[in-house]
């Protein structure tokens, strides 16, 4: 039983690391143009659009998911371009401090 718990824990760690890597790759491909690689919104496009610093967000992961999917203001939604799993992973990655 202990061995099974250990295997599950290790598997979970690898899955979490893989999801974070995928979320970072998705963010890099879809979001950095406006939000910048660090999410601080300091790129020329971000300044033009008034993008907020994602590293200081007070939004919940669920609120971030909705914003990614539906868009808000000048931000277009990504629900037609990203799977629900990708949206959830990016939202969790942003909420987790982009680490």
Residue 54 has which token pair? Answer: 């994602």
Q: Which residue did the predictor score with more confidence, 36 or 7?
A: 36
- Asked if pLDDT for residue 58 goes beyond 70, the answer is yes
Does residue 87 lie within any of the structural domains? yes
Task: Report how many domains make up the chain.
Answer: 1
Q: CATH number for the domain including 53?
A: 1.10.760.10
Task: Tell me what the mean pLDDT of segment 7-24 comes to.
Answer: 52
Chain Cα centroid distance, residue 9? 23
Does residue 3 lie within any of the structural domains? no
pTM given for the model: 0.77
Task: Tell me what the mean pLDDT of segment 56-75 comes to.
Answer: 96
Whole-number pLDDT of residue 44: 85
């Amino acid at each position: 039983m202990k061995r099974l718990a250990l295997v599950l824990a290790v598997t979970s760690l690898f899955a979490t690391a893989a999801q974070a890597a995928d979320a970072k790759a998705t963010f890099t491909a879809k979001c950095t143009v406006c939000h910048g690689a660090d999410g601080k919104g300091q790129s020329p496009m971000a300044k033009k659009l008034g993008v907020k610093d994602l590293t200081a967000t007070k939004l919940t992961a669920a609120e971030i998911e909705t914003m990614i999917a539906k868009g808000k203001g000048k931000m277009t939604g990504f629900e037609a371009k990203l799977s629900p799993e990708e949206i959830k992973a990016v939202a969790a990655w942003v909420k987790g401090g982009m680490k």
